[in-house]
Amino acid sequence: MKRKWIWMVLLLVYTATLIASITIRTDQTQQKQRLDAFTDVSHLMPVKIKKVVQGKEEETLKAVLAEAREKQLPISIAGKQHSMGGHTYYENGIVLDMTEFRRILAFDKQKKTIRVQSGVTWDDIQKYVNPHGLAVKVMQSQNIFTVGGSLSVNAHGRDIRYGSLIDTVRSFRLLKADGEIITVKRDDDLFTAVIGGYGLFGVILDVELSLTEDELYKMETTSLDYREYSEYFQQHVKENQQVRMHLARISTAKEHFLKDMYVTNYTLSSKQDITAHRELKEDQLVMPLKMMLGFSRRFDMGKDLLWNLQKHYFQKQNDQLITRNNVMRSDSAFLEYENETDTDVLQEYFVPVHAFGAYIDDMRELLQHEDLNLMNITIRYVQKNEKADLSYAKQDMFALVLLMNYGFEKDEKAKAERLIRQMTDVTLRHHGSYYLPYMPYQTKEQMKKAYPKVDLFFQKKKQTDPDDRFINYFYERYNTQ
């Protein structure tokens, strides 16, 4: 009997060891595959990197930096990797993964401020401040991104009253390439370079942000002709201080390509009691939306259907009440897409508010005979803001976010690259600019036109990091020094 037990225990130990070794080997293989073809959400530029280090503690970050200096290795910094042009890695380099560096460090309800580590997401902040009746001032339309990644692109979103993210940052701490940690305040030279600095000046460790009151809004969606939009916005949105957030869409369906529009305003509600609406919501309709998007990816009919259903869905919500925190809460899970043959990517163009109608006519002229799979365009407003060295809003702008799909084949990529440059030319002719977190197909000349302070930006980079310790493909593409 005793012998039987011993055999059973031995068999169990053997089986457990076997399973553990297979799991370890599978993990190691997956890890190696990931390092051999490291990429971001665009999946467009896989390269081999040396290693990924999770910076859970400040000491780890300092040690990795010291190792990179000693071995002369490049370092790139990664948040959620939703930038789409190799901004978070570099061939044979180390990637600092900041997503576990995510503690909330301080919160002052009276002063409406919060200090967080840079791997914290907007979702983390919303969950923390919502019970206190507070909300974020400026962030993307989605809440999945890290604060460090958002600062590094100087994000903007649906809010129309608080400017770009840079306006809401009080200070941050930065781990520089030489290992020194400095506090960067609003008047410091590096403040305007690091915010919108694409991880080139060092690791943003923690950030103090100013918050605002959570508010209750009434939703209202109206259809309009694209030629009326500039005037409508000026009169009914910008000049009406009760409108706090705004979003618009223009159709990419064949039937009314770049003509049909609808706008959604979030107006301060006269109802004062926000408590009943306070609970944070998660995205609904993820699966149906994912399916609709899939259909529109492949068929013109799908684009028509998506457009009409989306418009109907928004209009059905007219007069509904929603809190500021809930307006800013989409996780956009329906946008997640992975396929072996093709990919969904974004490009974003900023055009002066008054130029919108003429700009849309020129874009339609360019695109209507081209075979570009344009699935969706959302429009936001960005107030003039020239604080960041790489500021995209030289005047009050509409920001058009284009969601498109194209294949990994060489000719497909070349076609997308050509069209993106042509669309950028149209945008620049209207005194606009383009957003930098996406695939950097634009030329250096286009970059300089859109961002006149680009030389100053890269000079600051050279002064702060003379050995180019922090690099990525954004730097490789645009560096002017």
Ligand X SMILES: Cc1cc2nc3c(=O)[nH]c(=O)nc-3n(C[C@H](O)[C@H](O)[C@H](O)COP(=O)(O)OP(=O)(O)OC[C@H]3O[C@@H](n4cnc5c(N)ncnc54)[C@H](O)[C@@H]3O)c2cc1C
d(CA 469, CA 202): 9
**In the complex, least distance from residue 57 CB atom to ligand X, rounded to whole angstroms:** 14
**145 vs 307 by CB, closer to ligand X:** 145
Q: What is the residue-wise DSSP string for 399-439? A: EEEEEEEEESSHHHHHHHHHHHHHHHHHHHHTT-EE-SSS-
**In the complex, least distance from residue 2 CB atom to ligand X, rounded to whole angstroms:** 58
The tokens 């962030």 sit on which residue? 139
| Other beta carbons less than 10 A from residue 44's beta carbon | 17
**144 vs 360 by CB, closer to ligand X:** 144
**78 vs 416 by CB, closer to ligand X:** 78
Q: Can you give the binding site for ligand X, defined by CB under 6 A?
A: 41, 76-83, 87-88, 98, 118, 140-142, 145-146, 148-150, 152-153, 155-157, 198-199, 203-204, 332, 335, 346, 437, 472
**127 vs 227 by CB, closer to ligand X:** 127
- The length of the chain, given as a count of residues: 481
**In the complex, least distance from residue 198 CB atom to ligand X, rounded to whole angstroms:** 4
| 8 Å CB contact between 392 and 435 | yes
**In the complex, least distance from residue 201 CB atom to ligand X, rounded to whole angstroms:** 8
**252 vs 269 by CB, closer to ligand X:** 252
d(CA 468, CA 474): 13
**In the complex, least distance from residue 12 CB atom to ligand X, rounded to whole angstroms:** 44
**159 vs 362 by CB, closer to ligand X:** 159
Q: What is the residue-wise DSSP string for 311-325? A: HHHHHHTTT-EEEHH
| 8 Å CB contact between 74 and 115 | no
DSSP 470: B
CA distances from 48 to 90, 140, 250, 397 (A): 8, 30, 39, 39
**In the complex, least distance from residue 289 CB atom to ligand X, rounded to whole angstroms:** 13
The tokens 């344009």 sit on which residue? 374
The tokens 């223009």 sit on which residue? 250
**56 vs 227 by CB, closer to ligand X:** 56
**138 vs 219 by CB, closer to ligand X:** 138
d(CA 196, CA 166): 8
Question: What residue number has its CB nearest to ligand X?
Answer: 149
Residue 121's SS3 state is: strand
**Token pair listed for 106:** 């301080």
**77 vs 274 by CB, closer to ligand X:** 77
β-pair type (134-136, 203-213): antiparallel
The helix (H) or strand (E) run that includes residue 475 is: helix 473-478
d(CA 264, CA 249): 9
**In the complex, least distance from residue 257 CB atom to ligand X, rounded to whole angstroms:** 23
**In the complex, least distance from residue 353 CB atom to ligand X, rounded to whole angstroms:** 18
**184 vs 237 by CB, closer to ligand X:** 184
**In the complex, least distance from residue 24 CB atom to ligand X, rounded to whole angstroms:** 28
Contacts of 339 (CB under 8 A, 6+ apart): none
**In the complex, least distance from residue 336 CB atom to ligand X, rounded to whole angstroms:** 8
| 8 Å CB contact between 163 and 385 | yes
| 8 Å CB contact between 246 and 160 | yes
| 8 Å CB contact between 209 and 172 | no
